[in-house]
Structure 1
Amino acid sequence: MENTTTPAVTPVSVGIRYGLLTGIVTVIYSLILKAADLEQMPVMGLLTFAILIAGIVLAHKFYKKASGGFMSYGQGLGIATVTGAVIGVLSGIFNYIYVNFIDTEYAQRTVAAARAKMEADGKLSEEQIDQAMEWTSKMMPTGPLSIFWAILATAFFAFLLALVISAFTKNKRPEFE
């Protein structure tokens, strides 16, 4: 006789599923921003966080639905962290390919835009701006290590967001059920 039961949904499986879905949306959004040269606008960066938050909330909702309506706070944190790590993998690989193979002058344009903004603000001397640009150029990740940093950063921000989101989306299973 064939076993037809479906495997239980785990926080990791949900995190991977929604990390892939949200990561694809994030990569497409990032590509649109880069193509339209809108990436330097702060409002557009906030929309990236909104996409991340939506992905976490939808992952929590899916997990709760598959788990009889229950999800602990820790499970919510785990789901969000895995989701963020998967998004970081996809975003990191996309950015690495984009910066190193598609638009090789992207880093220089970003540094030039930052310089122009600092000069327009008029708060720093030319020497201070030069020093800031030197540090910015050194710190701008363009090599394979940038993928690792993208994974860490996105997982960390997803975890921080989940500290709040999970407090609202959790629904603990009663102890004596």
Structure 2
Amino acid sequence: METLDNLNEPQKGTAIWDTVLRFGLYGGGAMVVFSLLTYLTEFNMMTIMGGITMFLMALLIAFGIAIFAIKHQRDKLDGGYINYGKALLVALLAIILAMIISGIWSFIFTNFIDPDYIVKLKDQFMETWGGKMPEEAMEQTLESLEKAGEIGTSMFNAIKGGLVYGLIASLITAGFMKREQKPSYM
């Protein structure tokens, strides 16, 4: 009953895991939908503009996850207040979870739904860059594309991407969305 009497006061020690799981799943779903859209539209991500578009969309989704996760934690669970560290942690963990879900989807997609997808990506790469870059760099890129369908590579890339996109989005968003409770002197 004490909680209902003090609706605007933050609840000490409120768990973040509900928020992380909820918005990590939502974000993972958004990344899967985006992945499907790029596949169904046969989007060429091997061009410079394609790579920039993919980066910006992933960053946009990461910012969306961060904003909604912090807002939910702050306004629904913590009585309208959240400090910078907690906001950063909530957003970062939700984004990492979303990227892990995206990595699992990538593994399933490239190994079970469309096993020829990696071959299509390699063909796209050769059409776009064949003869325009050194042979050694070409072989190295084709080799890394070949490994993209492996579970270890998918998970490594997901966690690495989660940390990069997560830190960018979380550091900025937490700074704007933190709301410290002012000390009461009465």
Q: Name the SS of the counterpart of 1:70 in structure 2.
A: coil
Cα 1:163–1:33, aligned 2, differ >3 Å: closer, same or farther?
same
Equivalents in 1 of 2:33, 2:106: separation in Å? 11
TM-score computed with the length of structure 2 as normaliser:
0.79
Which 5+ residue runs of structure 2 have no aligned equivalent?
5-10
Q: Name 1:160's counterpart in structure 2.
A: 168
Q: Name 2:110's counterpart in structure 1.
A: 99
Equivalents in 2 of 1:44, 1:93: separation in Å? 18
CA displacement, residues 37-70 of structure 1 (integer Å, 9 cap, x when unaligned): 1151232542232122111101111111121111
Q: Name 1:73's counterpart in structure 2.
A: 84
Q: Name 2:158's counterpart in structure 1.
A: 151
Task: Work out whether residues 44 and 124 of structure 2, in 8 Å CA contact, stay in contact via their aligned partners in 1.
Answer: no
Task: Work out whether residues 104 and 155 of structure 2, in 8 Å CA contact, stay in contact via their aligned partners in 1.
Answer: no
TM-score computed with the length of structure 1 as normaliser:
0.82
Cα 1:103–1:153, aligned 2, differ >3 Å: closer, same or farther?
same
Q: How large is the Cα RMSD of the aligned pairs?
A: 2.5
Q: Name the SS of the counterpart of 2:181 in structure 1.
A: coil
Q: CA deviation at 1:111?
A: 2.1
CA displacement, residues 77-110 of structure 1 (integer Å, 9 cap, x when unaligned): 1111211121122101110011111111211221
Q: Name the SS of the counterpart of 1:87 in structure 2.
A: helix
Q: Name 1:23's counterpart in structure 2.
A: 28
Task: Work out whether residues 85 and 155 of structure 1, in 8 Å CA contact, stay in contact via their aligned partners in 2.
Answer: yes
Q: How many residue pairs were aligned?
A: 168
Task: Work out whether residues 22 and 52 of structure 1, in 8 Å CA contact, stay in contact via their aligned partners in 2.
Answer: yes
One-letter amino acid of the structure 1 residue matched with residue 81 of structure 2: F
One-letter amino acid of the structure 2 residue matched with residue 82 of structure 1: L
Task: Work out whether residues 84 and 151 of structure 1, in 8 Å CA contact, stay in contact via their aligned partners in 2.
Answer: no
Which 5+ residue runs of structure 1 have no aligned equivalent?
none
Once the two structures are aligned, what percentage of the paired residues are identical?
21
